[in-house]
Amino acid sequence: MATFAPPPRRPLPEAADVVVIGAGVMGLSVAYQLLRARRAGQRLHVVVVDQGYLAGGASGRNGGGVRAQWSTELNIELMRESLTLCAAFAREHRIHTWFRRGGYLFVAKEPAKVAMLEASAALQRRCGLATELLDASRAAELVPELDPEQIGRASYNPDDAVVFPWPFIWGYADSATRLGAEVHPFTEVIAVEHTGGRIDRVVTQRGSIRAPVVVNAAGAYSPQVATLAGVTLPNTPHRHEICASEPLKAWLTPLVADLDTGLYFSQSSRGELVGGVSDPRAPDDHDQGSSARFLALYSRALLRLCPRLERLKVLRQWAGLYDLTPDRNPIVGEVDEPSGFFQASGFMGHGFMMAPVIGKCLAQAILTGTPDPRLAPWHLRRFASGELLDEGMIIG
């Protein structure tokens, strides 16, 4: 099994071709794909820096869900490809990811949510997914512990999956390093300099690196990084909590998500029930503390849908940061100015599952100078022009 142990602390290089800010799964995916896709014989120096340690941010704090069930064709198409990349990850990077295709079961009862679920399922089938639209009794056949009285409609795609997140970070870091990347944890960026409208240098508390291309993949800290380059992002951080229960015997195959409450839960390979729930009153700041309020919201939503879990014991609880944009869609690609400054942020709580395909798309855009046309709707300028997007199948 591949593992990644950072090398002894060494000086930063004076120059690089690309500097990636953020050593989470998104930044490491970009670094790996850049080096993997370079032309034969092409020399490409990629440096990844992060203010903390690997898996210290949202990439190491999420539930590991990977799904293609979305309400827009763009997200469906991209996540079909990302699911394929996730399925092949263990073999490609020689590390166990505990990838298991148990599917996602979405449920809803509110009329507006039911209508959105039905429209989304129809779109998913037109895009080639195996999504089934289910009534309450059929959903309860898949998960007998569910209360069918709380379900108006459900959708199920058996090809959606759950993984263990940390091996993706370690696998990308190890593979990128073997291909020549430098990964520098505990290296905080304090300035991003540009000259004549083009990126020129990244300055950290440990030294500076000349580079013509910088990728901002700092998650909930992306707005602060962008500000260093004179770019304003509309993103805000939002605390999202999650918890794990005592181990239970295996009983739950799909990840269950309730669109009415924002509840989601799955069963890990060790038998734990791992899940979270929306909390609109959670602070929009970088606070990653735990709260009793979350446990109350989570238990109430979980027992509404699954009353048999009333005696379930919670063993641990933690929090991470969602990276929210005003339209709940990401910001991806090169900004208009300064040139050479690429964004990979605003993924809410879905950056982990999208990182494999977004890393591939961004790497191609950087190497060829031609952006992926599919990602054009996610450009930063949409917020100035008012061309906001809509995506209904967002949970958590």
Are 130 and 37 in the same domain? no
Residue 211 sits in a domain of what CATH number? 3.50.50.60
Are 306 and 334 in the same domain? no
Choose among 304, 301, 276: nearest CA to 291.
276
As a residue count, the chain comes to 396
Residue 108 sits in a domain of what CATH number? 3.30.9.10
Within a domain: residue 90? no
Within a domain: residue 291? yes
Within a domain: residue 91? no
pLDDT of residue 41: 79
Are 195 and 206 in the same domain? yes
Are 174 and 293 in the same domain? no
Are 249 and 379 in the same domain? no
Give the Cα separation of 163 and 140 in Å (integer).
24
pLDDT of residue 194: 96
Are 253 and 378 in the same domain? no
Mean pLDDT by 10 residues, the chain (396 residues): 61 97 97 93 94 90 94 96 96 95 97 97 97 96 96 97 95 97 97 96 97 97 97 95 96 96 95 94 85 95 96 95 94 97 94 96 96 96 93 83
Domain boundary residue, one of 294, 324, 354: 324
Are 245 and 307 in the same domain? yes
The kind and range of the H/E element at 66 are: strand 65-66
Are 146 and 291 in the same domain? yes
Within a domain: residue 368? yes
304 CB-contact burial (10 Å; exposed 0-12 / middle 13-18 / buried 19+) = middle
Choose among 378, 327, 355: nearest CA to 29.
355
The DSSP code sequence of 256-284 is EEETTTTEEEEE-TTS-EEEE---TTS-S
CA dihedral 88, 253, 26, 129 (to 10 degrees): 70
Within a domain: residue 4? no
Are 140 and 252 in the same domain? yes
Domain boundary residue, one of 276, 295, 324: 324
* 8 A C-beta contact, residue 202 and residue 19: yes
Reported for 73-78, long-range contacts at CB under 8 A and 24+ positions apart, including other chains, are 73/123, 73/127, 74/374, 74/377, 75/391, 76/123, 76/124, 76/127, 76/129, 77/127, 77/374, 78/354, 78/357, 78/358, 78/361, 78/374
pLDDT of residue 123: 97
* DSSP label at residue 72: S
| Domain coverage including residue 298 | 100-161+236-324
pLDDT of residue 283: 80
Within a domain: residue 311? yes
pLDDT of residue 289: 87
Are 133 and 272 in the same domain? yes
Give the Cα separation of 26 and 343 in Å (integer).
11
* 8 A C-beta contact, residue 204 and residue 188: yes
Within a domain: residue 278? yes
Give SS3 for 48: strand
Within a domain: residue 45? yes
Are 179 and 219 in the same domain? yes
- Global pTM reads 0.94
How many domains is the chain built from? Answer: 2
pLDDT of residue 124: 98
Give SS3 for 331: strand
Are 374 and 228 in the same domain? yes
Domain boundary residue, one of 300, 324, 348: 324
The DSSP code sequence of 185-249 is SS--EEEEEEETTEEEEEEETTEEEE-SEEEE--GGGHHHHHHHTT-----EEEEEEEEEE----
